[in-house]
Structure 1
Amino acid sequence: MPSNPLLQIQFPIPFDQIRAADVQPAIRELLEDARKHLEQIWQNGRPRTFENTLLALDRLTERLDYAMGIVKHLETVATTPELRAAHNAVEGEVSAFHSSIPLQEPLWKTLRQYAATGEARAIAGTRKRFLTKTLDTFRRHGAELDAPGKARLAGLDVELTRLTTKYAENVLDSTNAFELVITGESRLSGLPATARAAARESAAAKGLDGWRFTLQAPSYQALMTYLDDAALREHVYRAFATRATREPFDNRALIARILELRREKAALLGYRNFADLVLEDRM
């Protein structure tokens, strides 16, 4: 029986071998492995070092993040109903696990213990920066909250993951739902031969006559840049600018709820607003 291609870090990535059926068993196995290694970090009875504390934490989700990154990428660029269902089945679990890491009191205690060691006080350069960033990141993600606060933060993160995933799906589906088929070549004035050929090929692939344009970047950018027909450009521009604003892919209610939850999250963590939370370590 062939091994699951998502279980090992491989370059180049074997996209041709990955199937929707691989996703759930691989991600759940990698989650279980990460949980086990997470506990080992604070259960380690040896003296705290950079390697058995910070590097162990850094490597904790390497395989999980590799696999989930591939799944997210494929769901974005080559989705199928089966792949989307598999992605959505594990996305919440992965998000909950990542959100739980800074909330683990034994792990937070372990990091502070290491930070108080002579080795930690003596490190410099990138290792010092890594330690500082790790401690700051844990604080910004709820490590110092009380138990009810941690529970609420975990719930917020899970719901935000669900909503933002649905938001992205709606944008993708709305983008894919649009097509413009032109049957008269005279309306293609200004469009380069390569763009015309691509549009002709796109139409043929759908069993259509003429030239087919979509909101995908190569098609959209060529049309908006070179097409002489201003009315057609406006039509396509408006379609692009109003993606995911109509049923069945309407994101407007999702946006309102996401903003509400982000405000609550920021306040829970002691920030004036979500922008302050996000920008604190960027600006």
Structure 2
Amino acid sequence: MLTLLKVGHCFHPEAMVMQGHSWKSMQFPAYVGLIKHPTLGYVLFDTGYAKRFIQATQPFPERLYRSLTPMHLCDKEQLVTQLAFRGIDANEIKTIFISHFHADHIAGLMDFSQAEFICSRAALNAINDTSRFKGLLKGYLPKLLPNDFTRRCRFIEDSQPLNLSYHYAPFHLGYDLFNDGSMLAISLPGHAAGHFGLLLEHSQKTAFLIGDACWTQEAYTQGARPNKLAHIIMDDGQAYLNTLEKLSHLYARNKDIVLIPSHCKKTIEALTL
């Protein structure tokens, strides 16, 4: 079972994610996936924003991050509040899958003291080994990581690799996170180092949580591409475009797979009608 929760949003020019569009400010909601595993309990796909993002971006130069992508998070949208509304205590969250380490995906990690973290080894190396200024340019805020993060994490790459069926072409390799086929991590390179998505069954279809492999559904349905300026924050701009092409091919050939970008309001609204 998959539930999508909006945990804050930021604003950024529309033309940055869809080249040729207006430069007016566009809202980008931060969606989190709440997944109920049949035996392991609750799993989160990312955590969205948290109020500590404001604290982490108080000093200079981190304040530039907040200025370029102004964030809004009301009290009722905080992830722990939304979970409590559903009768779920933060300590019941035993696993958090991290698509990548940009602040709008990890700001809530500290709220889950009992959770194991699953991430890419390459992704963790990137946030740990990058200098403060270069890391900021790439969207990293290391202060958002719990002090015991390394002790509590395991790496996607250490999970069982599986060859995917032709239904998922042009994607051919997945990592079986729990050795039961319930959730498969798929590499989606380009946007950030070690960026991964997650395949799982949902409502008799396959949901593909693709993080920031694209920002809007127009990228894989209409061929919309980001402004070249957006490549500055990316790990590899050409790899990002290659991933978009693969997502477009997957969408065109298999409508039973629902692609879910982390920031696309249209996608979520269509799923919740």
Interval containing the TM-score (normalised by the shorter chain): under 0.3
Normalized against structure 2, the TM-score is what?
A: 0.23
Between the two structures, name the one with larger relative contact order (CA 8 Å, sep ≥ 6).
2
User: Which is higher, the Rg of structure 1 or of structure 2?
Assistant: 1
Normalized against structure 1, the TM-score is what?
A: 0.22
